[in-house]
Amino acid sequence: MTSNHSIVFEQDEPSSGQQDLVEINKNVCVEEINAILKEKKDKIATALKVCAHCTLCADSCFLYRSKEQVTEHMPSHKFITSLGVIYKKKGKVTIEELYEMRETLWKRCVLCTRCSCPLGINIPELLAIGRRILRTQGVYHSYSENQPLTEMK
């Protein structure tokens, strides 16, 4: 099931994805990541601690509902396997891991902020923190660059 879906993502992604991969910056700056982890530790630690792993958030994500309800689209799964992993490894992640998380944080979530958790975990906020961390390492999609709108083609 997993491999099946990664194929779908590659098809979703036009040639620009290849271009990103060529420009991989091999070094991860742990300090930069940790600065953000520290700032948001209250939220990250609370969410990871409180999440009951109950999967009730799954049905609130339209991507989960439309993509044949694959596990990878569960909101909780998205933050646990991205920001959660970065946090548990104290920022010591490899660039390859970050690229994998990029797929989760951009391709599997549009930050529509509609997902809901009965315990009140603010999942989109966590996913946004994840995106922020990846951006500091130059890992993001070209359509999501940090440049003024006017400069975008």
Partner 1 sequence: MHNFYYFATGPLAWIAFLVFIGGSIWRFRSLLELARRKDSIVFEYMDTKFALRSIVHWLIPFGSRSMKINPTMTVVTFLFHICLFLTPLFVFGHVILWKENFNISWFTLPNAVADIMTFIVIASCLFFLWRRIKLADVKYLTTPLDFIILFIVAAPFISGFWAYHQFPGFATMTIIHIISGEIMLMAIPFTKLFHMFLFPFTRGYIGSEFGGVRMAKDW
82-116: b (≥16 Cβ within 10 Å) or e: bbbbbbeeebebeeebbebbbbbbbbbbeeeeebb
d(CA 126, CA 103): 15
Is 50 near ligand HEM (CB under 6 A)?
Answer: no
Minimum distance between the CB of residue 79 and ligand SF4, rounded to whole angstroms? 8
Binding mask 81-100 for partner 1 (x = CB under 8 A): --------------------
Q: Does 54 help bind ligand HEM (rule: CB under 6 A)?
A: yes
Structure tokens at 116: 């809901």
Residues 108-147 that bind ligand SF4 (CB under 6 A): 109-115, 117-119, 121, 123-124, 127
The first and second tokens of residue 141, run together, are 């999609």
Which partner, ligand SF4, partner 1, ligand HEM, none, binds residue 40 by CB below 5 to 8 Å per kind? partner 1
